[in-house]
Structure 1
Amino acid sequence: MAKLCENGICTPKGFQASGIHCGIRKNRTKKDLALIYSEVPCNAAATYTLNKVKGAPIAVTKQHLQDGKAQAIICNSGNANTCNANGVEIATQMCALCADALQLASEDIIVASTGVIGEPLSIDPFATHMEELVTKLSYEGGSDACEGIMTTDTFKKEFAVSFLLDGKECHIGGMAKGSGMIHPNMATMLAFLTSDVAISSEMLDEVVHEVVNDTFNMVSVDGDTSTNDMLCMLANGLAGNEVIQEKDAAYAVFKDALMDICTEISRHIAKDGEGASKLLTCQVVHGNDTMTAKKVAKSVITSSLFKAAMFGKDANWGRILCAIGYCDAQFDINCIDVTLQSAYGSMPVCVNGAGCGFDEERAVKLLSEDEIIIFIDMKQGDAKATAWGCDLTYDYVKINGDYRT
C-alpha cells in the first residue's frame, strides 16, 4: 500500500527541479518558469485537453513523445502560448534552448504553458534566463518549480507517495496547477508526475490514461475546458524493480499508488477553485454501470445552481435531483437517495426521489464546514464513482472579471 511522504516532484530517485522569475509575469515576486529534469532518460506518457483549440506546446509535446521517451519538462506561467501565429515556433525554441543548456536532444523535452490566451509570447525571457533555470536545478527544487507553474492558485499542489515493488522502495512525485477554467476531460490543469519505477512506455501510457479517467477527469470547477491542459509522467527506472511490461501484480501496485497521488492532487485542485470556500465531493454508489455513476457525479458538481447553493449554505436538494435528472444516462430517478455530509454530521435530504424533511438550522451548520460530501445512493447496481468540485462564490466573478487585465 502506498503512503504519502514529504516533498513532491523530486522525491523519486534521480529527479531535480527549479523555478525562477524570467519576466513573463509583471510581478517580479512570482516565479513564472519551471524545469523538471531526470539524470537519466525516461519512459514518458501524457494526456491532453479535449478542447478543439489547443495550446501550441501541446502540438510540440505530442510530436516529442511519439517515441514514448523524454528527460525534462519545461513550463511557463503567465502566458498560455495559445492562438498565436508563431506559437509552435516559440514552443519549439523553448525546447531547443532547454535542450542546449541540458546537453540533450530537443525531442527529449516536454513543453507546457499556462496563462492568458491570445497574448504574444517572446522567446527573449527564455533565452535570457535559461542558464539560470538550469543552474538552479536541485533535489530540493520541487517547491520552486511548483510555484513557477501557478496562475490564480492560492497554494501549491505537490505530493509524493512511496511503495514497494520486488522488495525495492519506489516513489511517485507530483505537482499540479489548476484553479479556474476546470472541467472534466483534462481541464485547465497542468499536472506533472515523476517516478523511479521501471515500467515500459506502453504500460506507462496505459496506466496514466486509466488513472486520469478516474481522477483528473472527475474534477470540475466552472464547466470550462481549457486549451492547454496536459498531464505528463516521466519514469526513469532508478528504483531497480523488474521492468513492468504487462498488466500483472506489479502493474496493479503501481496503478494503486498512482491512483492515490492523483486523487490527492485532484481533491486539492477542486478545493482551490477560483474564489472557492468549500470542497464538494460527490460520491455515487450502486449505479447501474460505471459510466452512469460517473455522469451523475460530474453532473452534480458541475451544476452552477447547486454550487451557488452550497456557497449560501442552502440545502437545496432539489438542485441535486435536477442535475442528476438532466445527465445523459438511463436510470430510475425514483430509486435515488441523497445524503449531505460534513465534519458536522450527516443528514438525509431525499429518499426515493422525494424530500424527506430535515432541520434547516442543522443543515446550515452542516454546510458551514469547508468540505461537503454529497452522497448519492442510486440503488440500481454495483457501480460507483467520485467527482470533485467547489462552490460558486462572488470572488469567482471578481477574479474572472479582470483576469486578463
Structure 2
Amino acid sequence: MMIPDGTIATPLGFSADGAHCGLKYKKKDIGIIFSEVPAQAAAVYTMNQMQAAPIFVTKDSLANEQTLQAIVVNSGVANACTGKQGLEDGFAMRTLTAQHLGVAEQSVAIASTGVIGEYLPMDKVTAGIAELDLQSGMSSYFHEAILTTDTVQKELTLQAEIGGKTVTISGVAKGSGMIHPNMATMLSFITTDADVPATLLQKLLKQKVDQTFNQITVDGDTSTNDMVVVMANGCAGNNTFLEGTPEFGQFANMFYAVCQHLAKSIARDGEGATKLIEAQVNGATSREDARMIAKQIVSSSLVKTAMFGEDANWGRIICAIGYSGGRFSPDHITIKIGDTTILEKSETVAYDAVALADYLQQEKIVIAVNLHSGLETGTAWGCDLSYDYVKINACYRT
C-alpha cells in the first residue's frame, strides 16, 4: 500500500529535517535523516574513479559495523575534486553532525551534490548543521534540501503487513543531469523499520540497483558523488528477515518497487526533458545482454532527439542495438513503438503513421524490442534530449 503523504521519516524510529544555510541562494541546501536506534546499513557508490570526498567518508563510516544512525546531506557544492582540504571538510561535516546529535562519529554518513571543484564553505555548513531540528516535524524539508536542478521531488513510501507486523519502507532521490548507468549525479536514501541483517541488505541493494538505478540515463555522464544508502532500524518488531523466506521475498518486492519508482522519476526529470523513454528488450540470450541493449537504446543521443522530435526513426533504434555489445541475430529483430510494430524479424512493415504520430506526442514512450534469440528480458529508462538541456548546462554556473 502506498502512503500518499509519506516522507523519509515515515518508517518507525526515523526523523528528518532540512534547512537553508547559504550554499544556494535561498532554497534549502542541508538536510538530515536520523534513526533513534542504530540501523543496519548498506550503500553503493558511483563507478567514476574520480570519487568525491563524501564517498570516502561514508565508506569509512560503514567499514566496521555496517550500522548508521544519521545521514547528513548538502546540495549546492559537491565537495568533489577538492583534494586534502575537501576530505578534511568531509570528516569535519561528519564530526559536527555527530556532536549535534550526540552519537558516535562513525554512525554518521555524509553526501554532497552540486558544483564540482568548489570547497565547502564550512562556516555555513557548521551553522546549517546546528540549525537542523529533528523535533520540527518538517521531515519533508529533507526532500527539498537535496535537490539541485531537479524540478520535482522524487519520493515513495510503501507499507505492508509482513509476518504479522506492519513494515514501512520509504525512499527519496535527487537527480536530473549528469545521469548515466553505473550511478550518476544522483543521491538516493531509503529508510525502513524492518529488521534486515546488513549483509543481506547489502546484497539486496546491489541486486535492485542493478535492475533500476543502473538502468537509467539522461545524458551519458557518470558523476563523482553518487550513492544510494539504506538504513533498516528494526523498529517494526518483525522477526529478522532471512534470505529465501516468503517474508523476505515480500520485502524485496517492496524494496524493488521503491527503487524502480525513484529511478524512473529521475529519468523523467532529466534536465530539459519532455518525455520518459522506456526500452523493453525481450528474447535475449542473457539478462546482461538484455539490460545492455535496453540501456544503449535509451542512451543514444539520436534516439533521444528523435523522441523529442516525435519522429519514429527506427533506424536509430536498430543502430543502437547494433553497437550495444549485446549478442543477437541481426536477421530476427522486431521493434515496436507503443502498440505499433515498425520492424518485424528485421523486415520493414506497413503501419499506421497517423496513430504512431499521435502516440509519440505522449509523455511516456515505450520502445519494445524482441531479439528472438533467447528467453531473457531487460528494461531501461531515459528521457528525450531537448533544446533546454543545452541551455541548462551551458548556464549551470551562471
TM-score, with structure 1 as normaliser: 0.95
Partner amino acid for 2:348? G
Distance 1:48 1:273 in 2: 20
Question: Shift of the alpha carbon at 1:142?
Answer: 3.1
Partner amino acid for 2:218? V
Tell me the equivalent position of 1:73: 71
Tell me the equivalent position of 1:45: 42
Q: 5 Å matches for 1:225-264?
A: 225-264=222-261
Tell me the equivalent position of 1:160: 157
Secondary structure of 2:258 counterpart = helix
Partner amino acid for 1:93? A
Tell me the equivalent position of 1:396: 389
Distance 1:279 1:137 in 2: 38
Partner amino acid for 1:401? A
What whole-Å deviation, never above 9, does each CA across 1:116-163 have from its counterpart, x for those lacking one?
000121211121222211x2544x433210110000000000111112
Which of 131, 139, 142 in structure 2 is aligned with 1:142?
A: 139
Tell me the equivalent position of 2:296: 299
Tell me the equivalent position of 1:128: 127
Question: Shift of the alpha carbon at 1:3?
Answer: 4.4
Question: Shift of the alpha carbon at 1:4?
Answer: 5.4
1:369 equivalenced with 2:362 (yes/no): yes
Question: Shift of the alpha carbon at 1:8?
Answer: 2.5
Could you tell me whether the CA contact under 8 Å between 2:179 and 2:218 is conserved in 1?
yes
Secondary structure of 1:335 counterpart = coil
Could you tell me whether the CA contact under 8 Å between 1:56 and 1:82 is conserved in 2?
yes
Distance 2:324 2:315 in 1: 15
Tell me the equivalent position of 1:59: 56
Partner amino acid for 1:301? V
Could you tell me whether the CA contact under 8 Å between 1:143 and 1:158 is conserved in 2?
no
Q: 5 Å matches for 1:219-368?
A: 219-341=216-338, 346-368=339-361
Secondary structure of 1:295 counterpart = helix
Could you tell me whether the CA contact under 8 Å between 1:271 and 1:389 is conserved in 2?
yes
Q: 5 Å matches for 1:74-113?
A: 74-85=72-83, 86-113=85-112
1:383 equivalenced with 2:382 (yes/no): no
TM-score, with structure 2 as normaliser: 0.97
Question: Shift of the alpha carbon at 1:5?
Answer: 4.5
Which of 172, 184, 187 in structure 2 is aligned with 1:187?
A: 184
Report the CA distance shift for 1:187/1:194 in structure 2 as closer, same or farther (over 3 A). Answer: same
What whole-Å deviation, never above 9, does each CA across 1:144-188 have from its counterpart, x for those lacking one?
101100000000001111122211010110100000000001111
Question: Shift of the alpha carbon at 1:249?
Answer: 2.4
Deviates more, 1:177-186 or 1:161-170: 161-170
Tell me the equivalent position of 1:21: 20
Question: Shift of the alpha carbon at 1:251?
Answer: 2.1
- TM-align CA RMSD: 1.2
Could you tell me whether the CA contact under 8 Å between 1:158 and 1:175 is conserved in 2?
yes
Distance 1:203 1:238 in 2: 17
Partner amino acid for 2:224? T
Partner amino acid for 1:389? G
Could you tell me whether the CA contact under 8 Å between 1:278 and 1:390 is conserved in 2?
yes
What whole-Å deviation, never above 9, does each CA across 1:178-206 have from its counterpart, x for those lacking one?
00000001111100000000011111111
Could you tell me whether the CA contact under 8 Å between 1:10 and 1:141 is conserved in 2?
no
Could you tell me whether the CA contact under 8 Å between 2:290 and 2:326 is conserved in 1?
no
Could you tell me whether the CA contact under 8 Å between 1:314 and 1:363 is conserved in 2?
no
Secondary structure of 2:293 counterpart = helix
> Which 4+ residue blocks in structure 1 deviate beyond 3 angstroms?
2-6
Could you tell me whether the CA contact under 8 Å between 1:301 and 1:388 is conserved in 2?
yes
What whole-Å deviation, never above 9, does each CA across 1:337-373 have from its counterpart, x for those lacking one?
11111xxxx2111111232133333322110001110
What whole-Å deviation, never above 9, does each CA across 1:249-284 have from its counterpart, x for those lacking one?
222111111001111111111000000000001111
Distance 2:53 2:34 in 1: 21
> Structure 2: 5+ residue runs without aligned partners?
none
Distance 2:244 2:110 in 1: 29
Question: Shift of the alpha carbon at 1:246?
Answer: 3.2
Percent identity, please: 44
Secondary structure of 2:62 counterpart = helix
Secondary structure of 1:251 counterpart = helix
Partner amino acid for 1:70? L
Distance 1:275 1:3 in 2: 29
Secondary structure of 2:91 counterpart = helix
Partner amino acid for 2:394? G
Distance 2:348 2:123 in 1: 61
Q: 5 Å matches for 1:196-211?
A: 196-211=193-208
Distance 1:4 1:183 in 2: 29
Deviates more, 1:96-105 or 1:375-384: 375-384
Question: Shift of the alpha carbon at 1:79?
Answer: 0.5
